[in-house]
Amino acid sequence: MKIIKSQIVMLLFITVCLNGYTQGFANLDFEDATIVPDPSSIYYPNAVYTSDAVPGWTVIGNFMGPNDIFYNDISLGAPSVALLGNNGGFNALDGAYSIDLYGGSSGSPAGVSISQTALVPADASSIGFIAQGYGSLGGPLLVSLGGQNISFSAISTGPNYTSYAGSIPSGLAGQVAELTFSTAPDGGNNYWEIDDIQFSSVPEPGVFGLFALGGLFFGLRRRQTHSG
């Protein structure tokens, strides 16, 4: 009886630990932000708490550390992550907020990134997002899932962004995996603003199909956003 009770307790413990992962990815459009300034960051008045600004995401490579990011401000030299809104001279790509990744003027050895680990939808075969790169010296934006790089292509253009889509690596659908968006290691001066990350059950089509799908996919999203 004691052995059975111990096994039940262990199963309950494992269930609780995995519960956050089995809920799926969250805050993929960065609209769940709550702006809470960090009063201890006296040298960076626009620093806000990461856990409130981008709930669900982990920040890596940021010069201020993982617990603070900029709000409506960007670094001019050091690798950084920033939440950009529609005021203070900045504009979100869609909705109220977007995320900006900056690799730094000399480049971060490992790049700067945001990531989260959760359950990939069981029917997912591709991932899409919108993004805008800045700076002629900027390196590429890197996307990975489960430690595997995702090769993505431009599918359409919007007023201030480009829509991208790529195929999910085989075997990851329905599995717990880490999703990461990052600047290239030592990319140097690579600013990337990203938003509207979505998993799709539609397989990645050819080039012309991508443009058609992208226009429909994000056009419908913007229509739903404005109608709501």
DSSP state of 202: S
Predicted TM-score (pTM) of the model is 0.79
DSSP of 53-120, one letter per residue? HSTT-EEES-TT-SSEEEES---SSS-EEEEE-SSTT---SSSS-EEEEE-TTTT-TT--EEEEEEEP
DSSP state of 151: -
* pLDDT at residue number 19: 39
Domains, the chain, with CATH or none: 28-227 (2.60.120.260)
* pLDDT at residue number 213: 47
- In the block, tokens 């620093």 appear at 47
* pLDDT at residue number 6: 41
* pLDDT at residue number 17: 38
From first to last of its 228 residues, what are the pLDDT tens digits of the chain? 544 444 433 333 333 333 334 479 999 999 999 999 999 998 899 999 999 999 999 999 999 999 999 999 988 889 999 999 998 788 999 999 999 999 888 766 778 999 999 999 999 999 999 999 976 555 789 999 999 999 999 999 999 999 999 999 999 999 999 999 999 887 677 889 999 999 999 765 543 344 444 444 445 455 444 455
* pLDDT at residue number 21: 43
Side-chain-side CA neighbours of residue 44 (13 Å): 21
The gap from C-alpha 21 to its chain's centroid, in whole angstroms, comes to: 16
* pLDDT at residue number 15: 36
* pLDDT at residue number 97: 98
